Amino acid sequence: MQDNLMDKIMEEVMKKVGDSSAPEEKTEAPKAAPKACGLTEYVGTAIGETIGLVIANVDYGLHEAMKLDKKYRSIGIVGARTGAGPHIFAADEAVKATNTEIISIELPRDTQGGAGHGSLIIFGAEDVSDARRAVEVTLKELDRTFGDVYGNAAGHLEFQYTARASYALEKAFGAEVGKAFGITVGAPAAIGVLMADTAVKAANVDVVGYASPGNGGTSYSNEVILFLSGDSGAVRQSIIAAREVGKQLIEAMGGPAPSSTTPYI
């Protein structure tokens, strides 16, 4: 009986503890239970402490302060505590699927005590229904784009891939629109360096960029990020090779590092 009690207590405790502690990228990204929110501007929430909002008519004074182009009356807003890659690749699908443009992408240093970023993405549209649609598509895509985010107490890995980059990836990472594009992210940054080397050796790909903690590309996150383009098969092959190496390293540091949702690459 004492054992049963013990189990019950531990379960209760770990539930509460899980709520109040600041875990790593992987575990801190539970699907937020969407509550009732009556505001018309509210679109929804998603994994990674993500929230989606729209403003039908941005106030003129704020328009100026935010340095928005005047042609966009309506904006869509996606913000997250945890995750930048997943959100930017999701937003890329949203831009393809809707009549919107990416106004800005900003990368706070966050992940709720983890080693990486959160994100703030703003879509511009002439009509609020387009802005809302872009936010909805982004929130929906996140379940997929968190699929190759792996984490444990030591750090996290992230991989993203698209056969055809669009304007969100061009804006954020300098991807060439219409070409295959992918990224490898390793934290702590040392792992990212070795994954980058592995990726470029694994197939015939082009290095579009390389971001490290001190070169201004990462908001001082503890990550090294490689940006790749090329033939779509080659980009995938590079990323898969990097993933294999990265997982061995992060697991040598901190034990099992499962996917946040379901791997897609």
Q: Which is nearer to a second copy, 58 or 97 (CB)?
A: 58
Map residues 150-179 to x or -, x wherever contact with a second copy holds by CB under 8 A: ---xxx------------------------
CB atoms < 10 A from the CB of 105, how many? 19
CB atoms < 10 A from the CB of 40, how many? 11
Question: Residue 131, SS3?
Answer: helix
Q: Contact between 42 and a second copy (CB under 8 A)?
A: yes
Taking the C-alpha atoms of residue 162 and residue 165, their distance in angstroms, rounded to an integer, is 6
Taking the C-alpha atoms of residue 4 and residue 220, their distance in angstroms, rounded to an integer, is 47
Least distance between a second copy and beta carbon 181 (Å): 15
Q: Which is nearer to a second copy, 247 or 264 (CB)?
A: 247
224 touches 188 (CB < 8 A): no
130 touches 100 (CB < 8 A): yes
Q: Contact between 36 and a second copy (CB under 8 A)?
A: yes
Least distance between a second copy and beta carbon 94 (Å): 15
- State the Cα angle at 117 between 112 and 122, rounded to 5°: 115
Map residues 12-31 to x or -, x wherever contact with a second copy holds by CB under 8 A: xxx-xxxxxxxx---x----
Q: Contact between 53 and a second copy (CB under 8 A)?
A: yes
Q: Contact between 191 and a second copy (CB under 8 A)?
A: yes
Least distance between a second copy and beta carbon 124 (Å): 13
Question: Residue 207, SS3?
Answer: strand
Least distance between a second copy and beta carbon 96 (Å): 22
Q: Contact between 184 and a second copy (CB under 8 A)?
A: no
